[in-house]
Structure 1
Amino acid sequence: MNKPEFNDERPLIMHIDLNSCFATVEQQARPMLRGKPVGIANRRTDKTALITASYEAKKMGVKVGMKVRDAKVLCPDLVVIESDPSKYRYVYHCLLDIMKDYSAHVTMKSIDEGVIDFHDTTADIQGRDLVDIGMEIKQRLKDEIGVWMRCNIGIATNRFLAKQAAGLHKPDGLDVMTPANIREVLGSLKLTDLTGIAHRNERRLNSVGIYTPLEFLDADPVVLQRIVFKGVVGRWWYDRLRGWEVDDLETDIKRVGRQYVLESFHLTHEEIGQRLHHLCESVGSRMRSQHKAARGIYVYVKTVEGGYWHASTMMQLPFSSDQTIHMLAHRLFDNAPDGLKEIGIHCYELQPIENPQISLFNDHIIQERQVTDAMDGINKKYGERTIHSADTLGTGLYVKQKIPFGGTRYL
Structure 2
Amino acid sequence: MTNDTSRLPAVSVGQSASFAGQQPDLASAGGRRRQSRLRGPQSALRAGNVAACYRCAATVTIPGMPANRAILHVDMDAFFTSVEQRDRPELRGKPVVVGAPPDKRGVVAAASYEARKFGVHSAMPSRTAYRLCPHATFLRGDHAKYSRESERVMSILRQFTPLVEQVSVDEAYLDVTASLRLFGTAEQIAREIKRRIHETTGLTASVGVAPNKFLAKLASDMRKPDGLMVITDAAKLGVLRPLPVGRIAGVGKKTEPMFHELGIRTIGDLQRFPIATLRARLGVWADEIKARALGQDDRPVEPCGEAKSISNETTFEEDVSGMETLERTVRELADEVGRRLRAEGVRARTVQLKLRWSDFTTLTRRTTLPEATDDEARIAQAAIQLMQAELKEPRPVRLLGVGGQNLLRAPRQLDLLDRRSDRRDDLNRAADAVRARFGAKKLRRAGEL
The reply to whether TM is greater than 0.5 is yes
Cα RMSD, aligned residues only: 4.5
Amino acid at match of 1:112: D
Shift of 1:257: 4.9
Residue in structure 2 matching 1:142, options 178, 189, 198: 198
Tell me the residue number matched to 1:253. Answer: 308
Deviation at 1:102, TM superposition (A): 0.8
Higher relative contact order (CA 8 A, sep 6+): 2
Residue 157 of structure 1: how far off its partner (Å): 0.6
- Equivalent residues in 2 for 1:279-298 (5 A)? 280-287=334-341, 289=344, 291-295=346-350
* Aligned equivalent of 1:241: 293
* AA of the residue aligned to 2:238: E
Normalised TM-score (structure 1): 0.71
Cα gap change, 1:210 to 1:141, in 2 (>3 Å): same
**Map 1:242-321 → 2, pairs under 5 A:** 242-248=294-300, 253-254=308-309, 256-257=311-312, 280-287=334-341, 289=344, 291-295=346-350, 314=367, 317-320=370-373
Q: For 1:52, what is the secondary structure of its paired residue?
A: strand
Residues 1:363 and 1:238: Cα distance change in structure 2 (over 3 Å) = same
Equivalent position of 2:445 in the other structure: 395
Ranges in structure 2 where 5+ consecutive residues have no aligned partner? 1-64, 358-362
CA distance, structure 2, for counterparts of residue 280 and residue 19 of structure 1: 29
Residue number in structure 1 paired with 2:11:
none
What secondary structure, in the 3-state scheme, does the structure 1 residue paired with 2:255 have?
helix
Q: Would the aligned equivalents of 1:155 and 1:162 in 2 still touch at CA under 8 Å? A: yes
Secondary structure of the structure 2 residue equivalent to 1:234:
helix
Q: Distance in 2 between matches of 1:258 and 1:198?
A: 19
| Equivalent residues of 1:240, 1:246 under 8 A apart | no
Which residue does 2:93 correspond to in 1? 35
Residue matched to 1:305: none
Counterpart of 2:193, as a letter, is I
Verify the 8 A CA contact 2:307 2:407 in the aligned structure 1: no
2:161 alignment partner in structure 1: 103
Aligned equivalent of 1:229:
282
Q: Per-residue deviation at 1:259?
A: 5.9
Relative distance call for 1:79 and 1:297 in structure 2 (3 A) is closer
Q: Secondary structure in 1 aligned to 2:222? A: coil
Q: How many residues align?
A: 367
Q: Which residue of 1 aligns with 2:146?
A: 88
Q: How far apart are the structure 2 equivalents of 1:287 and 1:174?
A: 35
Match of 1:162 among 213, 216, 222: 216
User: Is residue 310–residue 340 contact of structure 2 (8 Å, CA) maintained in 1?
Assistant: no
Between the two proteins, what is the percent identity of the paired residues? 23
AA paired with 1:291?
Answer: V
Which 5+ residue runs of structure 1 have no aligned equivalent?
Answer: 1-6, 303-309, 387-391, 400-411
Q: Which residue of 2 aligns with 1:389?
A: none
Q: CA 1:278 to 1:207, structure 2 compared with 1: closer, same or farther past 3 Å? A: closer
Alignment correspondent of 1:152: 206
CA distance in 2, matches of 1:45, 1:208: 44
Instruction: Call closer, same or farther: CA 1:83–1:210 in 2, change over 3 Å.
Output: same
2:224 counterpart letter in structure 1: K
